[in-house]
Amino acid sequence: MGRSTFLLITCLVIAPVVNAKQLAITFDDAPRAANGYFDGSTRANTLIENLSKNKVGRVAFFSNTQSLDKQGLSRMRLYDEAGHLIGNHTHSHPNFLDTDLPTYQEDFLKAHQLLKQFNNFQPYFRFPYLREGETLEKRDGMRTLLQKNEYKNAYITLNNYDWYIEVLFQKALKEGKSVDLQRLSNMYIDVLMESIEYYDEMAIKYLGRSPKHVLLLHETDISALFIGDLAQRLRQDGWEIIPPKEAYQDPVAEYQLNQPIKYNPGRIGEIALGKGQKKELWHYTLNEDYLEKRFQQEVLLLSDN
Ligand SMILES: [Zn+2]
């Protein structure tokens, strides 16, 4: 066997290891209401510190500009100054299903005007609730407006209900329950990893490869508390964390479903739907009752009754 053949075979054998699973981390609804475990600036500082301590480079914050009061603005400045990407998530987080196109477009443009001030603002748009318009007129109306403003659709590929774990955490605190943060971290990470692996397997099934993924998270206290734990677990499980701009260079960015849809499971779910999968486009962890049960059992250690 010649040397080049040997090298070729060696490369083929190690290829799956070299081709690490990759994802970018993104936080929606920034600056999100903060009046529970942390105040707003403590949340922001904790999140930034935990990202940097764990050597997570650039992440993205998709902002609702109606929350840019004095406190909200200073929080967004902290993310901006830390070098993270700032993107558009509309002014007031409208639900596109019950908002007409002109109103929705106006809300998007209002946010654009307010976000331009940030050094790390980039023209990426994350649709609230991932809803991109349930009629051709609405969907194409937004596509045209995004194009005109040189925006990219900041789709996600890895869907989950992290926001509902935050709801359960804050509710338990308000009710005076003691919440063990280590157990909460474990549950949060296990739930996220289950849905991450699910959507990656779905991608491999329909694309034949693991794309550069985009993880949806929200700007919450649990994100601030546990993002470092999550980064460590991701790496343990073979994931590499990449900047959002790099993730959006994956060919799945170009994918477009023919027909408009009401509810969007994320880009991998859309691709599966386009190839005929009708069920289980949302992983079973994306369910309030399911998460509440796990929270009671795994965090509060209440028995099942
Ligand atoms: Zn949102």
The stretch 85-114 carries a mean pLDDT of: 98
Backbone angles phi, psi at 259, to 5 degrees: -95, 145
Which of 286, 228, 210 is CA-nearest to residue 48? 228
Cα 126 to averaged position of ligand 1 atoms, centre (Å) = 8
63 CA from centroid of ligand 1 (Å): 8
Predicted confidence at residue 305, as pLDDT, reads: 54
Expressed in angstroms and rounded, the spacing between residue 155 Cα and the centre of ligand 1 is: 12
Tens digit of each residue's pLDDT (9 = 90 or more) over 244-273? 999 999 999 999 999 999 999 999 999 999
State residue 18's pLDDT score: 47
Note if the bond before 31 is cis, omega within 30 degrees: yes
Q: By mean pLDDT, which of 16-25, 141-150, 172-181, 274-283 is the weakest?
A: 16-25
Distance between Cα 6 and ligand 1 center (Å): 51
Instruction: Tell me how far the alpha carbon of residue 103 lies from the centroid of ligand 1, in angstroms.
Output: 17
Calculate how far, in angstroms, residue 220's C-alpha sits from the geometric centre of ligand 1: 12
What would the mean pLDDT of 1-14 be, rounded to a whole number? 51
pLDDT for 5 beyond 80: no
Closest CA to 125 of 159, 85, 88: 88
* Helix (H) or strand (E) segment spanning residue 190: helix 181-207
| pLDDT in the model for residue 119 | 98
CA 259 to centroid of ligand 1, rounded, Å = 23
Q: pLDDT tens, 119-142?
A: 999 999 999 999 999 999 999 999
State in Å: Cα 28 to ligand 1 middle.
5
Q: How confident is the model at residue 4 (pLDDT cuts 50, 70, 90)?
A: low
For 259, counting Cβ atoms within 10 Å of its Cβ (0-12 exposed, 13-18 middle, 19+ buried), the class is: exposed
In the prediction, which pLDDT does 304 show? 63
Among 87-91, 285-289, 291-295, 299-303, which is the least confidently predicted range? 299-303
Report the DSSP pairing between strands 213-218 and 85-88.
Answer: unpaired
User: Ligand 1 mean position to 93 CA, how many Å?
Assistant: 6
Q: How many angstroms separate the CA atoms of 174 and 254, rounded?
A: 44
Query: What percent of the chain has a predicted confidence (pLDDT) above 90?
Result: 92
Say how far apart CA 98 and CA 160 lie, in whole Å: 23
Backbone phi, psi, residue 88, to 5°: -95, 130
Reduced to 3 states, what is the DSSP secondary structure of residue 132?
Answer: coil
pLDDT for 163 equals 98
| Whether pLDDT at 68 is above 60 | yes
pLDDT for residue 1: 46
> 1 CA distance to ligand 1 centroid (A)?
57
List, for residues 211-227, the tens digit of each pLDDT value: 999 999 999 999 999 99
Q: Write down the pLDDT at residue 20.
A: 74
Distance 204 CA to ligand 1 centre (A): 27
CA-CA-CA-CA torsion sign (150, 156, 161, 167): negative
Name the average pLDDT for the chain: 94
Q: Which domains does the chain have, with CATH numbers?
A: 20-299 (3.20.20.370)
What is the 128 CA–ligand 1 centroid distance (Å)? 4
Alpha-carbon distance 6 to 258, whole Å?
Answer: 46
| Centre of ligand 1 from the C-alpha of residue 142, in Å | 17
Helix (H) or strand (E) holding 214: strand 213-218
Q: Convert the pLDDT of each residue in 8-62 to its tens digit.
A: 555 555 544 445 799 999 999 999 999 999 999 999 999 999 999 999 999 999 9
241 HSE (CA, 13 A, CB side): 21
Taking the centre of ligand 1 as the mean of its atom positions, its distance from the CA of residue 66, in whole angstroms, is 12
Neighbours of ion ligand 1 (CB under 5 A): 28-29, 128
188 alpha carbon to ligand 1 midpoint, in Å? 19
- How far, in Å, is the centroid of ligand 1 from the Cα of 62? 8
Q: How far is the CA of 189 from the centre of ligand 1 (A)?
A: 21
Q: 210 CA distance to ligand 1 centroid (A)? A: 26
How far is ligand 1, taken at its centre, from the CA of residue 92, in Å? Answer: 10
Distance CA 86, CA 203 (A): 27
Question: Tokens for 224?
Answer: 């601030």
pLDDT at 303: 77
